[in-house]
């Protein structure tokens, strides 16, 4: 079988090393594996918005080093596979694009390819804002369009030319990676998206789905539970939640409770009132992903919180609403400010880096409200009534309340809810603890470092040093 693998970001550790492990595993099984990558010709990508030559050299240098280490039977391709007709069609497409804002960008398509959504995902993440001001960055937007459409056509050509029968890609949310996924879909072949697993030496594969596809992930969770050993699966499902609560995370960067103070609650907490705690999430990952993410009750989290606090205002004598902002939003100032700007006599907002304990909020809450946060299913596991307003994999597993409208949501929050059965939470925990694939050739050191088959995969030393020096002068998009 001919297998295609697209590895766009070699600076992502450990995902890059996991991809190498995957390719070698497929080769060991007798597959004909081909690796496709960028040769530095794309005008923009998620990790190199301004097409910095030094960043390109680091990425290319690491790819070159990896080629020296992996099984020589794996074939590698770097240059664009575009004909003059392809280039003309792309140029004509780019000349016709018009946009004023992110909504305009999202609407753009190239044939069957939802390139606007792909480009919007990259822009939103790089700007750290779901509604960025694009007026000062029109060339960057156009560069993302060019890169994404070029990669789409490039991959369509490769799949046809090399008779690719199955395709593997990292994540698939951003411009050029979504392009590769759509090329596989539109060529009628299966694809697998790779994402980091529950530990640094593990990864997870999703067949014919983005990792963010809640509907397909839910089906995998249910199927995993059916196949699991009934004698041990409930006990095994608890491990995920106990590790989370204890702070046993993949890396300290993702241990969001390490600086929180156990037992600390907001100063205005009143145990005599009904206390509703809302846990929001950064919206970067989901703002431009439609695949399998239907069912959100509100257009966005900010609007949901505004409407809910308005709807509960007449109960302020007996009810208090707390918004726990996700710690990850500390790095997304404009998005964070949008939530901090919400004012209501019934609302207390807890900023991202406030030391108030997330788990003490859960323990003392009468009702927990979640959008995309894992805290929602953790609260269900802890025996709390949970109302889900976003499109998440644990929705409809039976451990949460899943309203379909604003009116139904308000009615739930005004009621004396009891916790739902925990089985859905245990299903979720079991899947995320035991569905991973081991990457034995990778040895974890820290978030950005590790060895593959005993080797540090680095570009030339001087190239790496020069890039780090230049990175000191990089400014985030705003």
pLDDT tens track of the chain, all 478 residues?
999 999 888 888 888 999 999 999 999 999 999 999 888 889 999 889 999 888 888 888 889 999 999 999 999 987 678 999 999 999 999 999 999 999 999 999 999 999 999 999 999 888 878 888 999 899 999 999 999 999 999 999 999 999 999 999 988 888 999 999 999 999 999 999 999 887 788 899 999 998 888 999 999 999 999 999 999 999 999 999 998 887 765 555 566 777 889 999 999 999 999 999 999 987 776 776 665 456 688 988 999 999 999 999 999 999 999 999 988 887 777 778 888 889 999 999 999 999 999 999 999 999 999 999 999 999 999 999 999 999 999 999 999 999 999 999 999 999 999 999 999 999 999 999 888 899 999 998 776 678 999 998 887 666 666 666 666 556 555 5
For residues 385 and 419, the answer to whether their CB atoms sit within 8 Å is: yes
For the whole prediction, is pTM greater than 0.75?
A: yes
Helices (H), 326-475: 333-340, 358-364, 375-381, 406-413, 423-434, 461-471
Fold match, 2-201+439-471 / 231-433? yes
Can you give the pLDDT at residue 410? 97
pLDDT digits (tens, 9 = 90+) for 448-477: 678 999 998 887 666 666 666 666 556 555
For residues 319 and 276, the answer to whether their CB atoms sit within 8 Å is: yes
φ/ψ of residue 11, rounded to 5: -90, 0
User: What is the rounded distance in angstroms from the CA atom of residue 214 to the CA atom of residue 290?
Assistant: 10
How is residue 56 written in tokens?
């390109």
Residue range 231-433 in CATH 3.40.50.2000 = yes
User: For the chain, which residues make up each domain, given as ranges?
Assistant: 2-201+439-471, 231-433
Please state whether beta strands 367-370 and 166-170 pair in parallel, antiparallel, or not at all (unpaired): unpaired
Which residues are paired to 163 by β-bridges?
none
Please state whether beta strands 274-279 and 319-324 pair in parallel, antiparallel, or not at all (unpaired): parallel
Instruction: Give burial (CB, 10 Å; 0-12/13-18/19+) of 157.
Output: middle
Which residues are paired to 443 by β-bridges?
451
Nearest alpha carbon to residue 385 among 267, 299, 274, 265:
274
CA atoms within 13 A on the CB side of 278: 26
452: alpha, beta or left? (left if phi > 0; alpha if psi -120 to 50): beta
User: What is the rounded distance in angstroms from the CA atom of residue 299 to the CA atom of residue 445?
Assistant: 41
Which residues are paired to 274 by β-bridges?
319
Which residues are paired to 34 by β-bridges?
4, 75
For residues 7 and 194, the answer to whether their CB atoms sit within 8 Å is: no
DSSP state at residue 324: E
* Number of residues that this document lists for the chain: 478
Torsion of Cα atoms, 386 then 390 then 391 then 396, to 10° = 20
Q: How far is C-alpha 369 from the geometric centre of its chain's CA atoms?
A: 21
For residues 449 and 457, the answer to whether their CB atoms sit within 8 Å is: no
Kindly report the number of other CB atoms within 10 A of residue 232's CB atom.
10
User: What is the rounded distance in angstroms from the CA atom of residue 63 to the CA atom of residue 7?
Assistant: 9
Please state whether beta strands 75-77 and 32-36 pair in parallel, antiparallel, or not at all (unpaired): parallel
Q: How far is C-alpha 309 from the geometric centre of its chain's CA atoms?
A: 28
At 191 the three-state DSSP class reads: strand
Please state whether beta strands 166-170 and 190-196 pair in parallel, antiparallel, or not at all (unpaired): parallel
Which listed CATH number (2.60.40, 2.60.120, 3.40.50, 2.30.29) goes with 2-201+439-471? 3.40.50
Instruction: Give burial (CB, 10 Å; 0-12/13-18/19+) of 289.
Output: buried
User: What is the rounded distance in angstroms from the CA atom of residue 270 to the CA atom of residue 320?
Assistant: 8
């Amino acid at each position: 079988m001919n297998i295609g693998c697209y590895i766009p970001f070699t600076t992502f550790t450990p995902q890059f090393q996991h991809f190498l492990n995957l390719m070698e595993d497929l080769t060991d099984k007798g597959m004909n594996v081909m690796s496709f990558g960028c040769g530095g010709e794309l005008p923009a990508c998620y990790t190199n918005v301004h097409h910095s030559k030094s960043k390109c050299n680091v990425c290319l240098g690491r790819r070159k080093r990896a080629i020296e280490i992996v099984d020589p039977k794996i074939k590698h391709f770097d240059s664009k596979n575009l004909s003059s007709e392809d280039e003309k069609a792309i140029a004509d497409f780019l000349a016709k694009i018009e946009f004023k804002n992110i909504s305009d960008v999202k609407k753009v398509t190239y044939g069957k390819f939802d390139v606007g959504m792909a480009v919007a995902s990259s822009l939103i993440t790089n700007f750290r804002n779901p509604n960025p001001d694009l007026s000062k960055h029109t060339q960057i937007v156009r560069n993302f369009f060019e890169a994404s459409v070029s990669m789409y056509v490039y991959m369509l050509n490769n799949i046809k030319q090399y008779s690719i029968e199955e395709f593997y890609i990292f994540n698939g949310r951003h411009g050029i990676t979504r392009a590769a996924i759509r090329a596989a879909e539109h060529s009628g072949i299966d694809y697998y998206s790779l994402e980091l697993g529950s530990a640094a030496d593990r990864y997870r594969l999703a067949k014919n789905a983005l990792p963010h596809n809640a509907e397909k992930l839910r089906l995998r969770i249910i199927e995993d539970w059916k196949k699991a050993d009934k004698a041990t699966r409930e006990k095994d499902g608890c491990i995920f939640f106990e590790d989370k609560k204890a702070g046993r995370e993949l890396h300290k960067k993702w241990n969001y409770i390490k600086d929180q103070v156990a037992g600390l609650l907001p100063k205005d907490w009143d145990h005599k009132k009904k206390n509703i705690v809302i846990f929001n999430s950064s919206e970067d990952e989901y703002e431009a992903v439609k695949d399998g993410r239907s069912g959100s009750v509100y257009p966005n989290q900010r609007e949901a919180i505004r409407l809910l606090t308005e709807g509960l205002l007449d109960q302020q004598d007996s009810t208090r609403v707390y918004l726990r902002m996700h710690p990850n939003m500390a790095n997304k100032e404009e998005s964070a400010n949008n939530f901090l700007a919400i004012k209501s006599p019934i609302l207390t907002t807890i900023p991202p880096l406030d030391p108030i304990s997330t788990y003490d909020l859960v323990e003392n809450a009468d009702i927990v409200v979640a959008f995309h946060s894992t805290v929602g299913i953790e609260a269900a596991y802890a025996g709390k009534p949970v109302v889900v307003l976003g499109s998440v994999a644990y929705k409809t597993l039976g451990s949460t309340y899943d309203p379909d409208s604003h009116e139904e949501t308000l009615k739930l929050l005004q009621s004396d809810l009891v916790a739902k059965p925990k089985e859905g939470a245990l299903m979720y925990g079991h899947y995320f603890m035991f569905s991973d694939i081991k990457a034995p050739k990778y040895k974890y050191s820290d978030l950005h470092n590790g060895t593959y088959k005993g080797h540090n995969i680095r570009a030339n030393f001087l190239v790496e040093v020069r890039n780090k020096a230049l990175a000191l002068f990089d400014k985030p998009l705003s």
